[in-house]
Amino acid sequence: MGRRVATRRRAGRGRAAMNDLPGSGSAAALAASAAGAPRPLSGVGVPNPGVADVTGTRRLLRRMRDVMAAAGTAQERLDRIVRLVAAEMVAEVCSAYVMRAGEVLELFATEGLRREAVHRTRLRVGEGLVGVIAATARPLALADAQAHPDFAYRPETGEEVYHSLMGVPILRGGHVLGVLVVQNRTPRRYTEDEIEVAQTIAMIVAELIASGELVNPLEMAQSSSGALLPVRLTGVRLNEGLAVGPAVLHVPQLVIRQVVAEDIDAELARLSQAVTAMQRAVDELVAASRGLGAGEHRDIIEAYRMFAEDRGWLNRITDAVRSGLTAEAAVQKIRQETRTRMLQIGDPYLRERLSDLEDLANRLQQFLSGGAVVPQSGPLPNEFILVAPSMGPAELLDYAHRRVRGLVLEEGSPTSHVAIVARAFDIPVVGRVEDAASRIESGDTIVVDGDRAQVLIRPSEDIQQNFAEAIAERSRRRAYYDTLRDQPAVSRDGVSVRLLLNAGLLIDLVQLAATGADGIGLFRTEIPLLTRDAFPGVADQTAFYRRAFEQVGDRQIVFRTLDIGGDKVLPYLSHTAEDNPAMGWRAIRIGLDRPAMLRQQLRALLRAAAGRELWVKFPMIAEVAELDQARALLERERRRTLEEGYDPPRAVKVGVMLEVPSLLWQLPALLERIDFLSIGTNDLAQFLFACDRGNPRLAERYDLLSAPMVALLREVIARCAAANVPLSMCGEMAGDPVDAMMLVALGFRTLSMTAAALGGVKAMIRSLDVAAAARYAAAIGDRPDHSLRARLAAYARDHAVAL
C-alpha cells in the first residue's frame, strides 16, 4: 500500500570510509557505514530530555504495548498512541499521517492540532515537510520549521503557532506507510536519541497500519483500473536467455505480532538460538554450492557466510533487544535503519551489499518465527519465474532444487552476487525493472526476455505462443550446436576460422569446454574488480590470474588491461562526473595517469604467466605515444620479475584494442610495435559515427554493416596482412552470424564473442563458401546504402548459409 523508498535527495558520503572496510566488506562495516550516514538535522534551541534514556524508552514501549493490546478500533488505538507520544516526548503536538492511494498523505490522528483537520488535511508526497519526509524516507528535525523552504501551511490545522518539528517516516518492508510528527511551540533541538525513539514508535505504528484496519489493503489495487491489462516493462540484462511461466513473488515479509519485549533475557536467548540455527543453515548452503563447480559464485557464497557470522551486525540487533524490543522487532529495526541509510549512499558497492544484508535479516526473522526459509505459502509450480525487489545469493539457492525458469529484480547489476549465481544455473535475469514486485501478481504469466532486457506481464495467447516457439527453436539450435562442439570452424571451401570467447569472470571460462572454443580472445580484467570493495594487491591479482590460466589449460587467453571509467566505475576509486564519460578519463588514460595501478596489474600478470605465453592488450589507445608509455611500464615490470627471482613467462605478446579512429592514421608505426591487433567495434562505432551507444534514440540509427565501417575494416585488414600482424574482432559484431559472415568474407580469421553466440557463428562458417562470399562482399561493399544487412541476409538464404 505504501510508497517504495525511492530517494530523491541523497546524502553525499566520503570515499575515505570505503578504505576502512576489511576484506570483501563485513556486515558490521556496512551497517556502521549506513548508520553513520548524516541525518538532515538543523536548528538551535534547548534540548528536552523527554524519553532519551534507556529507562524512559522502556517505559514508553511498555505503555505502547498496553495501548496496542487494549480493546477498541485501530483508529482509537492510533488516537491513544499520538496522545501518549506527545506526553512522553514533552511535545505540544504529535500527529500521524497515513499514505493513501495516489501517493497522498492523510492526517489520521493528532494530539495538539485542530480535531477537525483529521481526515481532512492531505499532502502529496514531496509537498510540505511531511511530504519531504515521505519522499526521502529520512527523519527531519528543525528548530524553526516555518523558515524551511518546503514548509507548507495548512490553516485548518492551526499549526502556525508551532515552531519546532521532528518527523520520521513510518516504514515497513521498504515502503513508506506514513509519517509520524511531533511539534513544539518554542525552538527545540531534538536529539539523536529522541529521533531513534520516534523511529521505534513508527515501527509499532507501521504494524498497526499494515493490519489493514485503518486503510483497506485493496485500496491501492482498486485504484489501478488497468491492473489486468498486458504490460511491458524494461530493465537491464543481467543474464541472457528466454523464459515463460507463472510468477512467484519472493517478498519475504513476516508479520511481527509483538514489538515490545515482556522478558528481555528471554528475547536475548531466543535471538541467540535463532542466530545459531541461521548460521547452521548457511553452512549447509555453502556445502551445497560446491556442486556448482569453481568460480566467483563459490567465493560469493563463502563471503555470505562471513556476513552471517559478523559480530558487529549481530551486536546492533542485540542492543536493540536490550532497549526493550522483541527479537523480531529488533531485527526489523536494524534492517530498516540499514536499508534507509544505504539507499541514500551513492557508492555502488555498498548498495549492492544491501541485498546480502536484507537476505540475512529475512532469514534470521524466519528462524525466530519458526517459519520456512522460502517465503511462499502453498506448493510452488513445477516451473516458474521468480520476481523480487532484490535478492541475495543464498535466497536464490533456497530455490535451487526447484525449477526456476527466470528471475526478475527491481534492483541488481551484472556484477551483483545474485546475478553471478544465476549465471551458474543458466537462469535468464532482467534487473532494474521498476516496481516489478508491485505490478506483477503471483500467478501472472510473464515472459522474461533476457536478450532484450524486457519483461512481458500477462501477454496475450499469441505472444505466449510466439515466445514458446522461440524457446523451442532456441533449444533445437542449442542441441544442434552441441553436435558441432568438437567440429572445426572450417568453411565449405576449406577456410579455417578461430573462434574465441569473451569473458570477464572465472565462471565464464567453464564455457570453453561447453562450446569447444579455441580460447579466450578477450578477458575483461576490470569485471572482477567491480565486485570488490578495494583494489586488490599484487598477490591477490596474481592468484586470480593464475586460476584463469589453470582453467583454460593449453588454450590461449588474452588479457585486456583495466578498462575502467566511463560506465565501469570502481567504487573505491575517486571520480568526478563527466559530461561525456565514454570519451573521458578511462581505460589506458587512467592507467598512464595512475601508473601504480597499471604496474601492479602487469606485475601480477607476469608472475601468474610463469612458463606460459602471456598475451596482453591495452584498451583505448588513441596515439602511438600512449602505447610506447604502456610498453615501457610492461618492460619495467618484466625486468623486475626477473630481478626478484620469479619464473618469467615463456613469451610476452603485446597487442592493442583498435577503438579510437585517430589510430587509423598511425597504423604503420603502430603495427611495427605490436604482436597482434584486436578491433573493438562497440567503442569504434560510436566514435566513428559520433553516436552515443547508450542513447536509446540512436540505438538503431547506424548499422555496422554500412559503407564507412566496411571501408575501415578493409583498410585495417590490408595493413595487418602486409605487416604480418594477426588481427581479430572482439566486438559484438563478431557474435552476429550475418555480421560475422561479412567479417569472414572481408578477411577476418579470428573472431571472439560470447559463449551463447559461438554455436550460431560456427554453424554459419561451416555452411559458407568463403571465396564466393568474398566476391559478393567486394561487389556490394562500396554501395552508399544505409545498411548492407538485408542484401547479406538475402545472399545467405539464396546460398543455404545457416543463420
Active-site positions read 417, 730
Name the 3-class secondary structure at 451.
coil
Residue type, 711: A
Q: Quick one: which of 344, 345, 2, 358 has its CA closest to 169?
A: 2
Q: Which of 666, 610, 611, 607 is nearest to 637 (CA)?
A: 607
Say which residues have a Cβ less than 8 Å from residue 504's Cβ, sequence separation at least 6: 523, 524, 526, 527, 528
Residue 707 DSSP code: H
Contact 725, 675 (CB under 8 A): yes
138, three cell numbers: 529520512
N residues, the chain: 803
Residue written as grid cell 517516516:
169
Distance of CA 116 to the CA centre of its chain: 47
- CA torsion, ordered 317, 321, 323, 325, to nearest 10 deg: 120
469-488 per-residue burial string, b: 16 or more CB within 10 A, e: under 16: eebeeeeeeeeebeebeeee
Residues 113 and 157: their CA atoms lie apart, in Å, by: 5
Rg (CA), the chain: 30
How far is 676 from 658, CA to CA, in rounded Å?
A: 11
The three-state secondary structure class of 572 is coil
| CA distances to 133, 344, 533, 631 from 351, in Å | 21, 9, 11, 37
Alpha carbon 218 to chain centroid distance?
31
CA–CA dist 645, 627 (Å, integer): 27
Could you tell me which residues are beta bridge partners of residue 175? Answer: 4, 172
577456410: which residue's cell?
Answer: 495
Closest CA to 522 of 361, 641, 651, 676: 676
Look at the alpha carbons of 321, 326, 331, 333 in this order and tell me if their dihedral is positive or negative: negative
- Between strands 383-388 and 403-409, the pairing is parallel
529-535-537 Cα angle (round to 5): 115
Q: What is the helix (H) or strand (E) element at residue 332, kind and residue range?
A: helix 327-342
Contact 613, 651 (CB under 8 A): yes
For residue 668, the cross-strand partners are none
List b or e across 286-302, with b for residues whose CB sees 16 or more CB atoms inside 10 angstroms: beebeebeebbbbbbbe
Nearest C-alpha neighbor of 335 from the set 363, 368, 309, 304:
363
- In a 3-state reduction of DSSP, which class is residue 68? helix
Instruction: At 471, list the grid cell.
Output: 524457446
